[in-house]
Amino acid sequence: MSDYGANNIKVLEYPENVRCRAAMYIGGTGKSGYHHLLWEILDNSVDEAIAGYATHITVLLSGDYAEVRDDGRGIPFDKHPKTKTSALDVIFTTLHAGGKFDNTAYKSAGGLHGVGSSVVNALSDFLEVTSVRGGQEAHRQFSRGAPQGRMKLRKRPKTHHGTKVGFHPDPEVFGEQSFDPDLVRERVKIRAYLTPGVMFHLEVDDQPAEEFCFTGGLVDFLAEKLETGGDELVADFPFVMESEEPRMQVALTWTSSPSSEVVSFANAIPTHEGGTHLKGLDSAVVDCVRAAMKDHPDVPKRLKITPSDVREGLVALISVFISDPQFRGQTKDKLNNPEVQKLVEDTVRPALTEWLRKNSEQTAAIIRRVVYAARARTASRAAADTVRRSSAVSRLRLPGKLADCSSQSREDTELFLVEGDSAGGSAKMARDRKTQAILPLRGKILNTESTSLAKVMKNQELSNIVEALGCGIGGSMDLTKLRYGKVILLMDADSDGHHIAVLALTFFYRFMPDLILDGRVYLAIPPLYRVDIGKKSHWVADEAELSTLMDKYPRSNPQVTRFKGLGEMPPKTLAATSMSPETRRMLQVGIREEDAEETEATIQALMGRDPAARYALLTDIMERTTSDALIE
């Protein structure tokens, strides 16, 4: 300990803080990080174009040297009121300094943190800036973040304005690299699509200069993607939408491709990992198409349409401009603004709904494409399940208490987790042996909310469930190895039964969440009462249903029988009320994406170790329930 003291604490100042940890600012020092320097400078010029001040942007490449010019407002170089030095020097030599921290100079911009220019400067052994504005031109040179000599000023016509930044990445940081013209060309071209009407020039050494300018924006971009993709179009023309508030453009269509391609941008920055704007678009597209398919004559009645069926063949582009974007990290690969998802969803949904309504032929073609995808998925899964289940049965060690089924098709099979050996015996007699498997559980299983995986696997009841399902647990879980199409919790209709069901759901939520997310988990609703009124029997799930039934037959003399548990229920009654697909009642367990955070908080409060959190949640529920009852 005597070797560790205050003298060991390093305080890095600019530019050492950037040069020492370059990857923190640009993602790495390989090809991607090397080119990220150029993207930072290019995006500054694009921000000027987005703001409406630049109409021409030029990128010049010469081996390991790059230069970007624009005809925007020019970088301010007058004296900064706080530092008493040139504003240009502040921008290029100070982290977190820039004109994009409020909405005065830029309503929307890709630059957010005020570090782009200073990071490029710190990581370049040579950088020069020329700014023209207000009848003057300022020229400044830097090396590894430090100003070289004095700023040179000269007069220029007041009509002239713009910025030029040229730089040479430092070989001490990046080694021997050079700029990839093809990669830069693609980036420049995308920027041209995202800023319609702005002219982009690309000059590479002695090659002929190239120009990119697209008035159609994403529509032109989509046309190029479809042309280069080569897949057959499903609809004759795409859905295109533009809005001013929020400022957004969307272009999409469907092709014959078995995959989808969705590209997203935020403030003209490619968000390669998507984000909230992409989630909003996806939700709107899936919901609108599914709504259009409802009761459509081309859709088979029993065909289940999943979101992946709607997405198959989709080619979509979305570009949004917002005033305060929140990107993940300096490389800006993902947009994190939570409010943008609903903003995009609420803007796209009515427009796409109206487009589908007005373009009946296009809609019919899209629906046929989705139906084709659903049928192909169903056929493929059925074929795979037949092979998978037959091989899994012969390969797996199955629990001794498991009464397995004989079907080789996974999607036709069901595993019932039943409360107790007695109920398990009744369920085994009531089941369809071909498709229904029974696994009895002994008493209340372990509460796994605050339990390690190692402890879970030492628990006999839980390890029996994992072995029966065959798909693994935790990080090693693989749904393709799941042995049953449905997992059904069949518990007594009393409070103890509900408690066991909640414990089982907690286990699935914490250690096998894909079962829930894939819609595999169900809650059976067995009756708590049989009510005989005249010659007719009614099966009642709880006290509330019993009260409703009694109100319906006020003058009857009903005979009410309360079931003590599933084990005392005759097998025929258990089959008819709780197990037969034709007559049973079940609830599918799922988590809506918009409720994910609330679900997590509720599970933690109800099943966690903190009694205060549980008390607060239950008190809130009781208060709201009482309030609702008073209102009624």
Written as one letter, the residue type at 67 is E
419 is catalytic: yes
User: Are the C-beta atoms of 292 and 363 separated by less than 8 Å?
Assistant: yes
Task: List pLDDT tens digits, range 312-332.
Answer: 999 999 999 988 888 876 567
User: Are the C-beta atoms of 562 and 500 separated by less than 8 Å?
Assistant: no
Given a cut of 50, the residues of the chain with pLDDT beneath it are: 99-114, 392, 394-395, 629-632
312 token code pair: 């198959």
* CB contact set of 355 (below 8 Å; sequence gap of 6+): 239, 241, 362
Q: What secondary structure does DSSP assign to 54-123, as a single string? A: -SEEEEEEETTEEEEEE-SS----SBPTTTSSBHHHHHHHSTT-SS-SSSSS-SS-S--SS-HHHHHHHT
Q: CA-based diameter of the chain, in Å?
A: 104
Q: What is the pTM of this model?
A: 0.57
* CB contact set of 208 (below 8 Å; sequence gap of 6+): none
630 token code pair: 């008073």
User: Are the C-beta atoms of 453 and 511 separated by less than 8 Å?
Assistant: yes
In the chain, what are the domains?
Answer: 16-212 (3.30.565.10), 218-377 (3.30.230.10), 396-527+572-590 (3.40.50.670), 529-562 (no CATH)
182 is catalytic: no
pLDDT score, position 351: 96
Catalytic residue among 411, 496, 514, 542: 496
In angstroms, the Cα distances linking 84 to 126, 137, 145, 404, 407 are 25, 19, 19, 81, 81
Among candidate residues 158, 90, 96, the one with its CA nearest the CA of residue 129: 90
pLDDT score, position 228: 83
Number of residues that make up the chain:
632
273 token code pair: 């990992």
Give the residues across from 252 on adjacent strands.
Answer: 239, 316
pLDDT score, position 387: 54
Catalytic residue among 40, 89, 170, 419: 419
Among candidate residues 488, 490, 492, the one with its CA nearest the CA of residue 565: 492
pLDDT score, position 73: 95
pLDDT score, position 106: 45
Catalytic residue among 40, 47, 345, 492: 492
Tell me how far apart the alpha carbons of residues 605 and 592 are, in angstroms, rounded to a whole number: 19
The 3-state secondary structure of 524-580 reads ECCCCEEEEECCEEEEECCHHHHHHHHHHCCCCCCEEEECCCHHHCCHHHHHHHHHC
Tell me how far apart the alpha carbons of residues 135 and 157 are, in angstroms, rounded to a whole number: 5
234 token code pair: 């499903």
47 token code pair: 């921000």
pLDDT score, position 109: 45
pLDDT score, position 396: 53
Catalytic residue among 494, 532, 542, 545: 494
Among candidate residues 59, 60, 43, the one with its CA nearest the CA of residue 51: 43
Helix (H), strand (E) counts: the chain: 21, 21
385 is catalytic: no
pLDDT score, position 417: 95
The 3-state secondary structure of 356-419 reads HHHCHHHHHHHHHHHHHHHHHHHHHHHHHHHHHHHHHHHHCCCCCCCECCCCCCHHHCEEEEEE
Cis check: omega of the bond before 15, within 30 degrees of 0: yes
pLDDT score, position 394: 46
Task: For tokens 């969705």, name the residue.
Answer: 262
Write phi, then psi, for 178 (nearest 5 degrees): -145, 165
3 is catalytic: no
